[in-house]
């Protein structure tokens, strides 16, 4: 079966971002960019499905600027067969991305679509669910285990009190949680081979999708800074401070 | 304006996060309706009518809604929003719990509107603040959608009273069954301690705990304090404790009165889950650990000496 994996280019998770002085956003100029960590897990899961003989083809798709080709090449080096970039220089909302992905799903007809549960830049946690709604497919969000049997997939999900397992009819949408797997690293020979794998570039216009949004970001600010704390010397001093100064005990 | 709040529940009790969500709805202003969707939810509806500020409780009691599968519940919510028409819902709110996050984007897409996730404050009826980049920036977002679909970060709003309200009850007959998904089973972690996201005091352990057995020191301290016990991702990944104890960007967001971080270095992703705590205490042997930059009180030393000593002193 064919598996479609969506990946996003985001600021690297180790970077401490800074808010721009004019409050228009965060400063991403000359900042290290990477594949969103949850998307890496999605790619890994698809590759493992292929290694098990369940998946026959892995198509990786990204919606974003032309530089997102780097992240698509990374996914190809990890084991994806071919890539699609829906190129858009704008900052798109989750709904717009879901609509573009729906157009790609219609075109490619995958049996399984795997996304990360959230991107670490917008922290939205929406796109997979929205894609599931638009395509009418079942959704297995926050997946920690994915098992395909026949025409259905059993997804174990991380929920607030523990874990829940649901069964979805294929085709279905799965979004990955951190514990689904441990992503592998791309080897140098595979990085070289990935350069020769096909990468198709599309545009929202070519897909006939409007990316208009009902949301507008008015400003972006730095969070209120915590006032500097103090180091105490002993447990007794700590308890005294918590009781008499902070009054939380 | 009428606001629909989707009740968070486990088929037994209405979750506290619902009260925080109703508080956010009250800040927006207008009539507040609460939807209780599930199977055999009569007792839940009786509890929901008492929530302060709620004028109507909609009860969708149907086998299709047992376990609140999003494929079935989302069309129900979207239909309620559309049926109501011009006089209908201006806002649909749910708590940013695993259930709320699962269902609400599906509702937003069905209504063809963008969602606003995890708001921490209400600026006006259409403008909200929410954290982005793991809480390292706060965005002010305005929605011009006819129906504003929003998830609410519970720790951003003080809960309304669970008693004192007197809402009317209305049964919803509609049964949406998409037939694309089914519930197989669930495994819930058992705990006698307070719920992590609602606890007034949280004691968390990280990689410095070294193994799962050592968490007994934290449990002993937590029991003295009536606290919940959390963990960093490192502790969860190392298998010390189950993943529903994880505090952070990808785990639970907590904002207790007192957060005690033990053997936690303080990575950005962990701070995203706890830096709105009123008072933060860090116990770590590495005095350069980033956690000390956000801690109100830091104690440098071996946690295996300090934690038992602290538990004894209390």
A171-224 pLDDT, tens digit per residue, is 999 999 998 999 999 999 999 999 999 999 999 999 999 999 999 999 999 998
| Calpha distance A149→B296 (Å, rounded) | 52
Band of pLDDT at residue B86, cut at 50, 70 and 90: low
Q: Are B285 and B291 in contact (CB under 8 A)?
A: no
pLDDT at B87: 59
Residue B38 in this model has a pLDDT that exceeds 90 = yes
Residue B60's Cα: distance from chain center in Å?
Answer: 22
Is the Cβ of A8 closer than 8 Å to some Cβ of chain B? no
Is the Cβ of B128 closer than 8 Å to some Cβ of chain A? no
If we measure between CA atoms, which residue out of B175, B176, B132, B127 comes closest to residue B150? B127
| Calpha distance B66→B64 (Å, rounded) | 6
Alpha-carbon dihedral sign for residues B252, B253, B256, B259: positive
Give the CA radius of gyration of chain B.
21
pLDDT, greater one: A179 or B94: B94
Q: Do A248 and B179 touch (CB under 8 A)?
A: no
Q: Give the other-Cβ count within 10 Å of A202's Cβ.
A: 19
Shortest distance between the Cα of A43 and any Cα of chain B, in A, equals: 18
Give the percent of chain B with pLDDT over 70: 99
Q: Do A139 and B71 touch (CB under 8 A)?
A: yes
Work out the burial of residue B171: count CB atoms within 10 Å of its CB; fewer than 13 is exposed, 13-18 middle, 19 or more buried: exposed
- The residue count for chain A: 249
Best probe of the A interface among B133, B135, B298, by most A CBs < 10 A, is: B133
pLDDT at A193: 97
ipTM summary value: 0.94
Residue B71 in this model has a pLDDT that exceeds 80 = yes
CB neighbours of A22 closer than 8 A, spacing ≥ 6? none
Band of pLDDT at residue B259, cut at 50, 70 and 90: very high
Residue B85 in this model has a pLDDT that exceeds 80 = no
pLDDT at A214: 95
Q: Are A181 and A173 in contact (CB under 8 A)?
A: no
- Partner B, chain A 154-213, Cβ-Cβ below 8 Å: 154, 157-169, 172, 177-179, 213
pLDDT one-digit tens code per residue, A42-60: 999 999 999 999 999 999 9
- What is the rounded average pLDDT for all residues in chain B? 95
| Calpha distance B295→B290 (Å, rounded) | 9
Helix (H) or strand (E) holding B32: strand B31-38
pLDDT at B82: 84
pLDDT at B180: 96
pLDDT at A88: 95
pLDDT one-digit tens code per residue, A74-124: 999 999 999 999 999 888 999 999 999 999 999 999 999 999 999 999 999
If we measure between CA atoms, which residue out of B141, B104, B99 comes closest to residue A130? B104
- What is the rounded average pLDDT for all residues in chain A? 96
**Mean pLDDT, residues A148-168:** 95
Band of pLDDT at residue A248, cut at 50, 70 and 90: confident
Residue B84 in this model has a pLDDT that exceeds 80 = no
pLDDT one-digit tens code per residue, B135-162: 999 999 999 999 999 999 999 999 999 9
Query: Which tokens go with B222?
Result: 């937590």
Best probe of the A interface among B132, B151, B238, B257, by most A CBs < 10 A, is: B132
Is the Cβ of A121 closer than 8 Å to some Cβ of chain B? yes
**Mean pLDDT, residues B4-30:** 95
């Amino acid at each position: 079966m064919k598996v479609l994996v969506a990946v996003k280019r985001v600021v690297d998770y180790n970077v401490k971002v800074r808010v721009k002085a004019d409050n228009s956003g965060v400063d991403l100029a000359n900042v290290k960019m990477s594949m969103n960590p949850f998307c890496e897990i999605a790619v890994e899961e698809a590759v493992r499905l292929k290694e098990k003989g369940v998946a026959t083809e892995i198509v990786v798709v990204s919606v974003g600027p032309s530089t997102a080709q780097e992240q698509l090449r990374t996914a190809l080096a990890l084991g994806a067969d071919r890539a699609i970039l829906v190129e858009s220089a704008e900052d798109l909302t989750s709904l717009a991305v879901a609509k573009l992905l729906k157009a790609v799903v219609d075109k490619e007809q995958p049996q399984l679509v795997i996304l990360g549960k959230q991107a670490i830049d917008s922290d939205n946690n929406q796109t997979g669910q929205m894609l599931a709604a638009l395509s009418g497919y079942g959704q297995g969000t926050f997946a920690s285990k994915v098992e395909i049997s026949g025409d259905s997939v059993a997804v174990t999900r991380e929920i607030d009190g523990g874990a829940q397992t649901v069964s979805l009819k294929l085709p279905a949408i799965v979004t990955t949680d951190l514990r689904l797997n441990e992503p592998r690293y791309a080897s140098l020979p595979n990085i070289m081979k990935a350069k020769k794998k096909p990468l198709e570039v599309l545009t929202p216009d070519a897909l006939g999708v409007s990316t208009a949004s009902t949301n507008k970001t008015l400003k972006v600010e730095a969070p209120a800074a915590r006032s500097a704390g103090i180091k105490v010397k002993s447990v007794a001093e700590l308890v005294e401070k918590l009781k008499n100064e902070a009054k939380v005990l | 304006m009428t606001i629909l709040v989707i009740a968070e529940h486990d088929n037994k009790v209405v979750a506290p996060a619902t009260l925080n969500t109703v508080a956010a709805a009250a800040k927006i202003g207008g009539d507040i309706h609460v939807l209780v969707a599930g199977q055999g939810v009569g007792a839940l509806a009786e509890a929901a009518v008492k929530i302060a500020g709620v004028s109507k409780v909609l009860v969708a009691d149907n086998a299709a809604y047992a376990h609140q599968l999003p494929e079935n519940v989302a069309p129900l919510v979207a239909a309620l929003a559309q049926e109501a028409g011009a006089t209908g819902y201006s806002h649909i709110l749910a708590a940013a719990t695993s259930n709320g996050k699962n269902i609400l984007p599906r509702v937003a897409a069905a209504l063809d509107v963008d969602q606003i996730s995890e708001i921490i404050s209400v600026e006006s009826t259409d403008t909200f603040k929410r954290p982005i980049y793991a809480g390292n920036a706060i965005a002010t977002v305005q929605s011009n959608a006819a129906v504003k679909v929003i998830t609410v970060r519970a720790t951003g709003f003080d809960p309304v009273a669970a008693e004192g309200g007197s809402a009317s009850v209305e049964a919803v007959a509609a049964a949406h069954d998409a037939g694309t998904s089914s519930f197989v089973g669930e495994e819930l972690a058992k705990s006698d301690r307070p719920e992590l996201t609602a606890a007034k005091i949280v004691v968390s352990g990280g990689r410095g705990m070294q193994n799962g057995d050592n968490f007994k020191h934290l449990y002993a301290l937590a029991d003295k304090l009536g606290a919940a016990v959390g963990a960093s991702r490192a502790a969860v990944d190392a298998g010390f404790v189950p993943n529903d104890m994880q505090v952070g960007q990808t785990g639970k967001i907590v904002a207790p009165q007192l957060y005690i971080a033990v053997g936690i270095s303080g990575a950005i992703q962990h701070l995203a889950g706890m830096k709105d705590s009123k008072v933060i205490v860090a116990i770590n042997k590495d005095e350069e650990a980033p956690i000390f930059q956000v801690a109100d009180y830091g104690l440098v030393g071996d946690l295996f000496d300090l934690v038992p000593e602290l538990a004894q002193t209390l």
